[in-house]
Structure 1
Amino acid sequence: MILSPGPRNAITDVPGVLVGHADDARLASGVTVIVFDEPATASVDVRGGGPGTRETDLLAPERTVQSVDAICLSGGSAFGLDAAGGAVAALAEQGRGFVVGPARVPIVPAAILFDLINGGDKAWGRFAPYRELGYAAVQAISADFALGSVGAGFGARTANLKGGLGSASSKIESLGVTVGALAAVNALGSATVGDGPHFWAAPFEIGDEFGGLGPAPTVPAEALFPPVKPVAGANTTLAIVVTDAVVTKAEAKMLAVMAQDGVARALVPCHTPLDGDVVFSAATGRVALPEDRLAALSAIGHVMALTLARAVARGVFEAQALPFAGAQPSWKQRHR
């Protein structure tokens, strides 16, 4: 199987998917929303010991609601869950949502990462600003969007380098299917092999999307144990993988499970008690799968994992250091 990225090498290469960011430099935090042109089948897989989520229970295969309007990723820890409320408000103004008699309720599952001690001003008073940021992110949706220190990845960090928001896409020519991934990388672990420039995800890189350096020539033992600051609940990588294939809600769950392998391929360590890693999966349902459905789903899930690993690496590669004393250096500061 030979993979190639779409024209943007981003999740928006999947038709019907748009992305919007809103962030605040003084706050050093932000929000990213993924909005579907039409409601998309979705599920989620939650790993690690410190997740923070909203509306993920309804994504279970047996729940009544079968599709979602958007997915919201936010900084701000528990305060950031307010961002989904702003996204819901913006979508309601557009007439989007699950129909209940004369009412429409936008369905926007959400997850948050911890960025409260990154140097930004979090003295916001009684109410955190994330609801307004969620609203603004929906207003900003586009097929073209920035990577790095933007949106939900604005204040993100990793063990040794500034974290950020990354995205990637892959075309599975044999199936006529496109896969996209987006990740906000705020990990306890490291995306690079020790203090060197090489990414753990290098074997899956396409072209020079995160430097083109290839795999590290050697992996020193200490690289398997990167320096960490074990503050409970202070990390988390948030991700979403999307395909344009027709899949059921139960199949979307299995795709989310498979896609989590992309996080494990790109970050060392991951899924720890100090991370709240969450991977959403969604399908826009525009491409029918062949008769050998299980083989096709296996291929899609595998490609989702590879694409997500690339998105994680791109998030760190494209990040910019925060303008605060003692801020983590970016990959480009250290290795360019």
Structure 2
Amino acid sequence: MQNLITDVPGVLVGNADDRERATGVSVVLFEEAAAAAVSILGGAPGVRDTALLEPEMTVETVDAIVLSGGSAFGLDAAGGVMAVLVERGRGFRVGDALVPIVPQAILFDLLNGGDKAWGRKPPFFDLGAAACEAASAGFRLGTAGAGYGATTATLKGGLGSASAVTESGFVVGALVAVNAVGTATMGEGPHFWAAPYEQNAEFGGIGWPYARPKDALVPRLKGGPGRNTTIAVVATDARLGKAQAKRIANAAHDGLARALRPAHTPLDGDIVFAAGTGRREVAGPMALNEIAMAASDVLARAVARGVYEATALPYPGALPAWKDRFGRIMVSP
């Protein structure tokens, strides 16, 4: 176990980013087509090909899921992923044609200091293809992939991941690009809202503060409409139908609410995909309940890891990274 979404059998992740433009793409690639669903609880989402994920729609499985920076420009990334998958013979067959099924969500990172003057050819098609080609079991966190240009209200955001094994033995993992309108930490201090769910000091191990900071609940918000959005994928090795995947995606949103203040606002997109690779059968509703609980926990942990592992962008006025401000804090023995 690497404490990554790729601990789920059948899941690979690839990142590609552009330092000059301060943006990037992450691809969750399924070794075999997987049942998937999406749940959107924020008021400002940006998505591609998500309608087909609803339970009543014809296509049953997806080949990959894309998370991207670039706001609506970033929606080109799925095209790059599709081009690579067609070369590999992947996709939904219609006669002699193959159409890879690649839903996508995007976040807004156009005002983070990077050069966004890309003219008529935004970089996202190429970034999507590169991320797909880079997909493997190991990948970078923090300022990487879709989290490269991400921010929160007070600190640099980033790409986070975490995994867990349920009591019944199902593996559940999460990948998230944290670009929240609010904060992942309490007030002006170092403590993560997700601290109760931390495993093995994965985001510093400092736990809760002795007493809640007086300013913990003071709202800290960035930007305005369309400048935010936290986007995520949760995956499990369970065999799920689309309706079951939808239930897991809904439950996983609790992880965003535990790790970010606020979540699910009119100013966030807050999109969660859920997928099952079908390696293990689900025996009854209690097993599905375990997966749902684990999905929300690993997503909360992944959010904190994304902020904890980030490094600041090299631009004037860029937000500091958590480690820049709090990296010298030592955990008490």
Give the TM bin, normalised by the shorter chain.
Answer: over 0.9
Aligned to 1:196: 189
Cα contact 2:141–2:160 (8 A) shared by 1: yes
Distance 2:97 2:209 in 1: 55
1:12 aligns with 2:3: no
Aligned to 1:96: 90
Amino acid at match of 1:302: M
Aligned to 1:278: 271
Aligned to 1:3: none
Pick from 23, 34, 38 the counterpart of residue 29 of structure 1: 23
Amino acid at match of 2:248: L
Amino acid at match of 2:224: V
Distance 1:60 1:219 in 2: 41
- C-alpha distance after superposition, 1:191-250 (max 9, x if no partner): 001111110000000110000011122223532233223411100000000000111110
Pick from 304, 319, 323 the counterpart of residue 313 of structure 1: 304
TM-score, length basis structure 1: 0.96
SS at match of 2:64: strand
| 1:305 Cα deviation after fit | 0.0
Cα contact 2:186–2:193 (8 A) shared by 1: yes
Cα contact 2:152–2:222 (8 A) shared by 1: no
Distance 1:108 1:55 in 2: 7
Aligned to 2:236: 243
| 1:47 Cα deviation after fit | 1.2
Distance 1:225 1:271 in 2: 17
Stretches (4+) displaced over 4 A = none
Aligned to 2:331: none
Aligned to 1:63: 57
1:224 aligns with 2:225: no
Amino acid at match of 1:266: A
SS at match of 1:229: coil
RMSD: 0.8
SS at match of 1:168: strand
| 1:315 Cα deviation after fit | 0.1
Cα contact 1:43–1:282 (8 A) shared by 2: yes
TM-score, length basis structure 2: 0.97
| 1:296 Cα deviation after fit | 1.2
Aligned to 2:80: 86
Distance 1:37 1:221 in 2: 48
Distance 1:69 1:319 in 2: 29
Distance 1:314 1:331 in 2: 10
Pick from 235, 245, 255 the counterpart of residue 252 of structure 1: 245
Pick from 56, 67, 84 the counterpart of residue 73 of structure 1: 67
- C-alpha distance after superposition, 1:145-199 (max 9, x if no partner): 0000000000000010000000000011x31210000000000110001111110
For structure 2, the 5+ residue unaligned runs are 328-333
Cα contact 1:21–1:151 (8 A) shared by 2: yes
Amino acid at match of 1:194: G
For structure 1, the 5+ residue unaligned runs are 1-6
For these two proteins, the number of residue pairs brought into alignment is: 327
SS at match of 1:311: helix
Amino acid at match of 1:197: P
Distance 1:245 1:21 in 2: 25
